[in-house]
Amino acid sequence: MALTTRTLSIDSSKSPPRAGIRSWIALAVLMLPVLLVSVDNTVLSFAIPSISLALIPSAAELLWIIDVYPLVLAALLVPMGSMADRFGRRRLLLIGSTGFAVVSVMAAFAPSAGALIGYRALLGFFGAMLMPSTLSLIRNLFLDPAQRRTAIAVWAAGFSGGAALGPIIGGFILEHFWWGAVFLLSVPVLIPLLIMAPIFVTESKDPSPGRIDPVSILLSFGAMVPTLIGIKEIAQSGVSAVNMAFILAGIALGVVFVRRQLRRAHPMMDMSLFRNPVFSGGVLANLLSIFSLVGFLYFVTQHLQLVVGLSPTHAAFVLVPGLAITIVSGLVVAKLANHVKPSRLVAGGLLLNAAGFLIVWLNTDGSVAGIIAAFAVLGAGVGMAETISNDLILSAAPPAKAGAASAISETAYEVGSVLGTAILGSVLAAAYKMNVVLPAGLSMASKDSAGQTLGGAIDVASSLPPQQGAALLASAKHAFDSGSGIVAMVGVVLMLGAAVMCLRTLRSAGR
């Protein structure tokens, strides 16, 4: 079927046209890649033990198997958003879907750790084509503000639903199949997309795009990758000259990238979008909301598995109620936005995030019931803030720049994920190191392992005499939970500050 382009022009004196049934079917089709990418973010963690046994990767290779996908994905979101505006959002979605499916099959049968790292990098490349395209197509499918908010709520719910399904699906697959089967999930999901998208999803693109700028693409990639690597390494191994050099190099390239965009008549990233306080405030709200979610999950999942002793699958089920509330909250707030100012809704969501962290701090015994309650409150806040902030980002940008605006929103999502783990993870690691008491007589390697992480302490304790091992476990778990309390208070303060920021920057946004 030939790809046709429709240029949308709206008479500002009339109400925007309301979407019909075809647009809602198109939305259902667009949810397929959203679910796929969000599931892919969480499902791999369950396959790591099996991959370690089958491919025997080194410690560095194992980290790259996990990290290379989100690194490449985050680094290419802005260039791919620009490409979608230029060449067509549906076209890029179909190219990305085809590539993602093919590479997923190749990854499932990877013969070595090096090959799997390469395939994961390619998955990030094609995944970066998917996400800006889905959100920007929604912007052009739903012109009515109320309908668009509902559609974005469904889009955000797809992310949350995928995150919830990832651990559950991963656990089921690995109980019945080999590790490569987790990658084959994309094939049955993407085949219906490739069939139905050309029928129901209308093509759209920027009617007057600028030239492709390879230098800006390289600068964007060069700014994101070293910065994210440096942040991740600080979270894992602490501050060092090498890690700081990565971050400073990324920042320097980022400054060059911004200056180049400001000089060009047709920039790859339209920096003028950030002059609109509603757009920039929406981006920050998006980043900080995901920051709170990922940072919360980082220490809570460890508590459930390493302190409480739940299996990964059971720990995932504990978090399902909160993820379900995230979905419901996003759908409900889309209706509330017709009656309540967006700034108050976003600030309210961030205040709920703060309340979720506060419940963790008050839950001194670390009970599962307390964690369920905390995540339910935080999930409600994330659903509110994510839905409205994404709507504000898209509505503040002109339709022709929907792909670029979507890419910026997605980049904020990925950066928020990295910062949530890095910053709150670093606070937790520092607090753990300060409070854990190590028994005398440990080797240097055992001291290093047990003094760095709770998982390391559990491993060391298993090799000690019972009484000594029990003492180390008790100290390590206490140190971890003490650190979790500090992280929770940091989360409270950050979310309160974010709520105040949103009330100021988003106050000009109408209903």
Report the distance separating Cα 316 and Cα 319, nearest Å. Answer: 5
The answer on pLDDT for 239 being more than 80 is: no
Q: Tell me what the mean pLDDT of segment 384-400 comes to.
A: 79
Q: Can you give the pTM of this predicted structure?
A: 0.75
Q: pLDDT grade, residue 402 (50/70/90)?
A: low
pLDDT winner (highest mean) among 13-22, 140-149, 344-353? 344-353
Q: Which of 39-53, 346-360, 469-483 has the lowest mean pLDDT?
A: 39-53
249: tokens are: 């190099």
DSSP 127-149: HHHHHHHHHHHHHHH--SHHHHH
Q: pLDDT grade, residue 14 (50/70/90)?
A: low
Q: Which among 201, 246, 208, 203 has a CA at the least distance from the CA of 228?
A: 246
Between 162 and 358, the more confident residue is 358
Those residues with Cβ within 8 angstroms of residue 228's Cβ, 6 or more apart along the chain or in another chain: 70, 71, 74, 75, 250, 415, 418
What is residue 163's predicted lDDT score, i.e. its pLDDT? Answer: 65
Q: Which among 161, 166, 145, 409 has a CA at the least distance from the CA of 285?
A: 409
The answer on pLDDT for 10 being more than 50 is: no
The answer on pLDDT for 510 being more than 70 is: no
Q: How far is CA 230 from CA 326, 413, 490, in A?
A: 31, 18, 22
Q: Tell me what the mean pLDDT of segment 410-425 comes to.
A: 74
What is residue 356's predicted lDDT score, i.e. its pLDDT? Answer: 93
- Across the chain, mean pLDDT equals 80
Contact 381, 327 (CB under 8 A): no
Encode pLDDT of 79-138 as tens digits.
Answer: 887 777 777 888 888 898 889 889 989 998 998 888 999 999 999 899 888 877 777 788
Q: Tell me what the mean pLDDT of segment 189-213 comes to.
A: 79
What is residue 352's predicted lDDT score, i.e. its pLDDT? Answer: 94
The answer on pLDDT for 8 being more than 50 is: no
What is residue 261's predicted lDDT score, i.e. its pLDDT? Answer: 82
User: In this structure, what are the phi and psi dihedrals at residue 203, rounded to the nearest 5 degrees?
Assistant: -70, 145
**Rounded percentage of the chain residues whose pLDDT exceeds 90:** 10
The answer on pLDDT for 6 being more than 60 is: no
Encode pLDDT of 445-483 as tens digits.
Answer: 778 777 777 777 887 888 788 888 888 888 888 888 888
Place of tokens 């491919």: 55
Q: Which among 50, 35, 156 has a CA at the least distance from the CA of 108?
A: 50
Q: Tell me what the mean pLDDT of segment 167-196 comes to.
A: 80
Report the distance separating Cα 269 and Cα 234, nearest Å. Answer: 29
92: tokens are: 């890029």
Report the distance separating Cα 179 and Cα 175, nearest Å. Answer: 10
3-class SS of residue 56:
coil
User: In this structure, what are the phi and psi dihedrals at residue 5, rounded to the nearest 5 degrees?
Assistant: -110, 130
DSSP type of residue 45: G
* Secondary structure, 3-state, 186-216: HHHHHHHHHHHHHHHCCECCCCCCCCCCHHH
Contact 160, 35 (CB under 8 A): no
**Class of residue 13 by CB neighbours under 10 A (exposed 0-12, middle 13-18, buried 19+):** exposed
